[in-house]
Structure 1
Amino acid sequence: GPSGLAAAFRLVEAGRSGRPVEVTVFEASERPGGSIGTDEREGFRVERGADGFITDKPALIDLARRLGITSRLLRTEPTSQGALVVRDGALHPIPTGFSMMAPTRVRAFLASPLLSPLGRLRALAESALPRGPARDDESLASFVRRRFGHETLARLAQPLVGGIYGADPELLSLRSTMPRFLEAEQRSRSVMLGLRRQARAASKAAAGQASAGKAASQASAGPASAAAGRPGDASGREASGARYSLFASFDHGMQVLIDALVAALPPGVLRLASPVRSLAPDGDGALVTTAAGTDRFDRVIVALPAARTARLVEAFDPLLAQRLVRIVHGSCATVNLAFTRRQALPSVYGLVIPSAERRPSVAMTFASRKWAGRAPADGDLLRVFLGERLAEDATDERLVTLARDELRSLLGVRDEPRFAVVHRYLSAMPQYHVGHHERAAAIEARASAHPWLALAGNALHGVGLPDAVRSGERAAERALDAGSAPAAARPAPALLPVSK
């Protein structure tokens, strides 16, 4: 996946800078990228997994720069804006300025029919509430209820946060998923006031960076950049729910990133269809066994879901395995439907569906309205997200039928799709339950007892693609640091990202 490939590329970079590094990547499947990838079919580009990434975390943008693919970055389409929420089967826009779980613009929030009049007043009363008691962590649901009330939780926060984590907010850790809201309360007493202060500080910082960039550009003797700024800089569109102006993708889909990472690896580094059967300590290194045999490595990076990592380490560290399996992973499914005729859709990027609606779908993305080049000019590509139970139990045919029923019921889409593609993500979505930061710290502390071992992936410190990339790069840096020694004292280290 992206974590393992990012780790491998970081190690290759270290080798190019003069450090003696040999790298081998074992990938269980016949294609690299894990859940990330793009399939091209009949003029449509269908994503296997995430269709983009947020740019306020710089790791992936920086990786794209080092890979030489920044010219292929793509912003969300300006002809659409924001998202809708379903209430009693009807579609309503997320109130302007609503930030995941908190309103920031009073008039827009008061005008929204998503909450009852009492529900809206209860939410806005947050600005007058005292600061809550100091807590190390609490569930996201508990936090939203005590600050903004039950309606805000059920009708806005749950579908928006659920769309990111695919998890029950009653279980999700606020500290590990949405720490800026906890920080806003702790620093400013009111979350709403704290978010406004954070926004003002961010605007000042962005203005300062823009001024510095303009001065540097004027002072430069080189040619002017063709880019008008990195994807995700200010666009004049105010955030509602997810901050869509901060999202980016690539012109031919997320496959561009995977292809660039694979192309950057030397020949022979990536071994496909090579699942790792066992991992065992061997002195200050480790033995890695696949169907092709056993190899010894000085350092090993494991970039797998927590449960799979647990199975690899259980034989030599049962306690580490026990801690890893406590990281719960959820499931979901997507159905991509390609239409040869342009559909009559709202001018938004998609919609989210509260669990209170009791529908089979949890969200929809209008992929061809969100990103350029995802469908022929006269067509549309829509993506329907279905919940965990259906992902695990229903047939592909049943999932397609449900997706079409949902499109018909909510959006009036009655056309026969040209084709439909189902993807399932079974036990693939880490869910950061209350106390996750303590579990993650305990896992890392235990793993540090094995200097040859480093862990990467999205199970510990963030579920997004930039988090996954940074996790892989940090694991590579730890492996390099652990291998540091006088040149005469040890042979050139060989480092291994073990992927799926």
Structure 2
Amino acid sequence: MRRVAVIGGGITGLAAAYRLRELAAAREFPLAVQLLERGARCGGALETIRRDGFVIETGADSFLSEKVAAADLARRLGLGAELIPTREIYRKTCVVRAGRLVEIPAGFSLLAPAHLGPVFRSPLFSPIGKLRIALEPYVAARTSSDDESLDSFVTRRLGREVLDRVAQALAGGIYTADPKRLSMAATMPRFVEMERRYGSVVKGMRAAEDARAAKSSDVSGARWSLFQSFRNGMATLPETLATRLGASIRKDAEVVAMSRSGDAWRLALASGESIDADAVICAAPAHAVSRIVAGVAPSAAKLLDAISYASAATVNLTYRESDFDGPPRAFGFVVPAIEGRRIIAGSFSSFKFEGRAPAGAILARAFVGGEMSRDMMQLGDAEMAAAVRDEFRALLGVSAAPGFTEVRRWPNSMPQYEVGHLARVAEIERAVAEIPAFAIAGAAYRGVGIPDCIRSGESAADAIFATLSAPK
């Protein structure tokens, strides 16, 4: 019987542990898997509160189905019938401009439009800003292959107004990052490829739009039709994985160090206990991995520690429909930093997905913190909720007290993909490859989304299983 320890009970670690069990069963290979989670619950940032008919997401509320790992795993778990799409009728996104919500022009994706007509008709940009966007196809393509920041890329190709009014806010909603430090190659490689291939992002967007046969030409903001969730909330996925793994999971088990013990690993726990394993998958955040491997791979530890993290929080609030004069029938809105407000985005969960709120009620939530708004994380829960209510009053005109509020903090949870990130990750991977029977996985490396994390965990499981099952 070979033994594998998986460190970290977020979606990455759960996916890795389950994949190991699948491989062992398929190959009839004797394998014991133990998942070690430092906290009292598994699932990481996938946490759903089900209360009074509301389905409340305190972390990620959906995943991108275009990346197949999450949907594939759900189907293997028998959850295919639980997958739900976004609601077509409300599929639009807004951005705050001068204290008002303005719809993002149709066909505008993250940082560039596929068509100029909706841009010219939109009040989002000034006449000079619109002219600058129209000139983008005539801007010479960059010849250097060096990584570039979002700030540099967008201002160079489309102008400062696009960065300040849209790109920073949309990217901020995903990565909670400073655009001056956010890597284009690591986060938005398709736009870099558009410039390389077509000499223009607008031309590249139009080509992609034509390829989709105008399928989403009437959709604003992100391509929400590609987002899915679960009927009873995102926690359905980690809860099901945890149930399947059962006694393989050990909670309140923080790994603080690891060392070689003969041909195996010995993991030291904060409790003073130790656990032996033939192989280890570390699916903890990079800063935790750095501490764990410091004694056996100091060079890898130093590289891992260089990946910085930002903190964020979500504030969910419940309202009656009558509390609003007329709520924006949209999935949500983003707030550019240039607006100087105290939230970075807001969304309407009950508009985005069916079954998130009882009839006559609205479930809304705000995103707080991130790299550009670190001061908000210093507030207490009550102060944070009050700040969100003030912003909703100013932006949405809702002054009624919410039915109830749920604040959830995610400290040091958002890895920052800074310029040069992919080169750093490649260096980390080379250093980690020198550590025997050991693999890393998670959001810190090659994708922060749910499917990215699942794919990362499963790839690590595949590699470790291949090592253990190889003939000697």
Give TM-score, length-normalised by structure 1: 0.89
For 2:461 and 2:63, the matched residues in 1 are separated by 22
Q: Do structure 1's residue 375 and structure 2's residue 365 form an aligned pair?
A: no
Q: How far off its partner does 1:43 sit?
A: 1.5
Identify the match of residue 336 of structure 2 among 339, 350, 354.
354
Alignment-derived partner of residue 22 in structure 1: 32
Alignment-derived partner of residue 13 in structure 2: 4
4+ residue runs over 6 A deviation: none
Q: How far off its partner does 1:238 sit?
A: 3.3
Contact 1:331 1:391 in 2 (8 A): no
For 2:62 and 2:74, the matched residues in 1 are separated by 13
**Matched residue of 2:41: which SS?**
coil
Amino acid paired to 1:81: R
Amino acid paired to 2:248: V
Percent sequence identity is 43
Aligned-residue Cα RMSD (Å) equals: 1.5
Alignment-derived partner of residue 411 in structure 1: 396
Alignment-derived partner of residue 59 in structure 2: 49
**Matched residue of 1:197: which SS?**
helix
Q: Do structure 1's residue 433 and structure 2's residue 424 form an aligned pair?
A: no
User: Any idea what the Cα deviations from partners look like across 1:233-273, whole Å, max 9, x if unmatched?
Assistant: x6x563322111110000000011112111222x4201112
Alignment-derived partner of residue 338 in structure 1: 318
**Gaps (5+ residues) in structure 1?**
205-233, 490-500
For 1:238 and 1:259, the matched residues in 2 are separated by 36
Identify the match of residue 317 of structure 1 among 267, 286, 297.
297
Alignment-derived partner of residue 178 in structure 1: 188
Contact 1:333 1:390 in 2 (8 A): no
Identify the match of residue 256 of structure 1 among 229, 236, 240.
236
Alignment-derived partner of residue 481 in structure 1: 466
Q: Do structure 1's residue 297 and structure 2's residue 245 form an aligned pair?
A: no
Change (3 A) 1:202 1:443: farther
For 1:201 and 1:456, the matched residues in 2 are separated by 34
**Matched residue of 2:360: which SS?**
coil
Identify the match of residue 387 of structure 1 among 352, 369, 376.
369
Q: How far off its partner does 1:341 sit?
A: 4.3
For 2:438 and 2:402, the matched residues in 1 are separated by 48
Amino acid paired to 1:295: I
Alignment-derived partner of residue 200 in structure 2: 190
User: Any idea what the Cα deviations from partners look like across 1:150-191, whole Å, max 9, x if unmatched?
Assistant: 101110111011110000111000000000000000011111
For 2:191 and 2:309, the matched residues in 1 are separated by 24
Amino acid paired to 2:461: A
Contact 1:328 1:430 in 2 (8 A): yes
Q: How far off its partner does 1:484 sit?
A: 3.0
Q: How far off its partner does 1:136 sit?
A: 2.2
Q: Do structure 1's residue 268 and structure 2's residue 247 form an aligned pair?
A: yes
Alignment-derived partner of residue 492 in structure 1: none
**Matched residue of 1:172: which SS?**
coil
| Bigger RCO (CA 8 Å, 6+ sep) | 1
For 1:339 and 1:450, the matched residues in 2 are separated by 53
State how 1:142-153 maps to structure 2 within 5 Å: 142-153=152-163
Identify the match of residue 401 of structure 1 among 382, 386, 389.
386
Alignment-derived partner of residue 214 in structure 1: none
For 1:475 and 1:64, the matched residues in 2 are separated by 19
Contact 2:68 2:451 in 1 (8 A): yes
Identify the match of residue 107 of structure 2 among 94, 97, 105.
97
Contact 1:279 1:289 in 2 (8 A): yes
For 1:14 and 1:201, the matched residues in 2 are separated by 37
Give TM-score, length-normalised by structure 2: 0.94
**Matched residue of 1:479: which SS?**
helix
Q: Do structure 1's residue 76 and structure 2's residue 86 form an aligned pair?
A: yes
Amino acid paired to 1:13: E
Contact 2:114 2:209 in 1 (8 A): no
**For structure 1, which segment, 301-310 or 336-345, has the greater mean C-alpha deviation from structure 2 after superposition?**
336-345
**Gaps (5+ residues) in structure 2?**
1-9
Q: How far off its partner does 1:132 sit?
A: 1.5
Q: How far off its partner does 1:203 sit?
A: 4.8
Alignment-derived partner of residue 449 in structure 1: 434
For 2:292 and 2:226, the matched residues in 1 are separated by 37
Amino acid paired to 2:273: G
Amino acid paired to 1:140: L
For 1:129 and 1:293, the matched residues in 2 are separated by 61
For 2:467 and 2:219, the matched residues in 1 are separated by 43
For 1:468 and 1:352, the matched residues in 2 are separated by 24
**Matched residue of 1:424: which SS?**
strand
Alignment-derived partner of residue 169 in structure 1: 179
User: Any idea what the Cα deviations from partners look like across 1:409-462, whole Å, max 9, x if unmatched?
Assistant: 000111111111111111110110000000000111000001211001100000
Identify the match of residue 307 of structure 2 among 316, 320, 327.
327
Identify the match of residue 122 of structure 2 among 112, 126, 129.
112
Alignment-derived partner of residue 132 in structure 2: 122
Q: How far off its partner does 1:358 sit?
A: 0.5
Alignment-derived partner of residue 5 in structure 2: none
**Matched residue of 1:24: which SS?**
strand
For 2:78 and 2:218, the matched residues in 1 are separated by 31
**Matched residue of 1:361: which SS?**
coil
